[in-house]
Amino acid sequence: MTQAVGALVAIALSSIASPVLATDMPIGRPLSTPAFTWTSCHLGAHVGGGWARESIIDPVQLVQDAIIGPGTTVGLTTVSPSPSGAVIGGQMGCDYQFMSNWVMGIQGAASGSSMKGSTTVMLPAGNPGDEALVNARADFLSSMTARLGFAFDRLLLYGKGGVGWVGDKYTVVGTLLGGGFGFEGLDLRTGWTAGGGIEWAFARNWSVSLEYDHYSVGHATVLMSDRVNGFTGSLDVKQSVQLVKAGLNFHMWSIR
């Protein structure tokens, strides 16, 4: 009898407890996942290509007036070497997603470049055939920009703008009146940059991007020197640079 009563009590308690357990611990029901957000900081790398528009004034005057004497050159000569090449570098920044779909942030980027171009100009004050080879090379680009974008869940469309820097090297080499010369000058200029792109978060902490950037650094006077012969002079240079680059970013903190 005692065993029978114990069994009935156990069955009754089981019947009461079962609905409670079923309520507290749903079996087979998936847990809710947090909503995706672009709020995070990121660190990444990029590769791509670039091309520059250069207007260089006046390599003829630089050479002839330095070697023959001031006032030798009449008029101005403008050349456009048009450098192009590859870029590779890195970027880091932070973003904040607000009002459901809007994303704002700040990003710093730096790139090494192989962009270079050259053109030849005749030296009319010299002997027939005297000429100068003008080379322009963009070695370094960097930027600090703000960006604003609109997110479609894991896809982000954005525009950006801010301050840009371009580092260049210029050379003018050749022969004049039977002697050789080799002028060289370095320049680091500050200007503005603007662009835009698309970014896709393809995994928990990873995203890829495709971006276009325009750099405008205006006019600058570049000091040139021929260290072998001791000649000095200057060039006036106007420059703009355009980049297309693909990036890979690792996101920390908030991207899920």
- Can you say whether residue 5 is alpha, beta or left, with left for phi > 0 and alpha for psi between -120 and 50 degrees? alpha
Average the pLDDT over 25-29 and give the result: 50
Q: Is the pLDDT of residue 188 over 80?
A: yes
CATH (residue range 39-252): 2.40.160.20
pLDDT given for residue 4 in this prediction: 39
From residue 195, how far is each of 164, 166, 203, 210 by CA, in Å?
11, 16, 25, 11
Average the pLDDT over 60-70 and give the result: 96
Q: The tokens 């528009």 sit on which residue?
A: 53
Q: Where are the domains of the chain?
A: 39-252
Q: Is the pLDDT of residue 252 over 60?
A: yes
**pLDDT tens digits for range 92-128:** 999 999 999 999 999 999 999 999 999 999 999 999 9
pLDDT given for residue 8 in this prediction: 35
Residues 6+ apart with CB under 8 A from 171: 133, 134, 135, 182, 183, 184, 185
From residue 222, how far is each of 57, 59, 162, 217, 238 by CA, in Å?
10, 11, 24, 13, 10
Mean pLDDT (the chain) is: 89
- Can you say whether residue 59 is alpha, beta or left, with left for phi > 0 and alpha for psi between -120 and 50 degrees? alpha
pLDDT given for residue 35 in this prediction: 79
pLDDT given for residue 3 in this prediction: 46
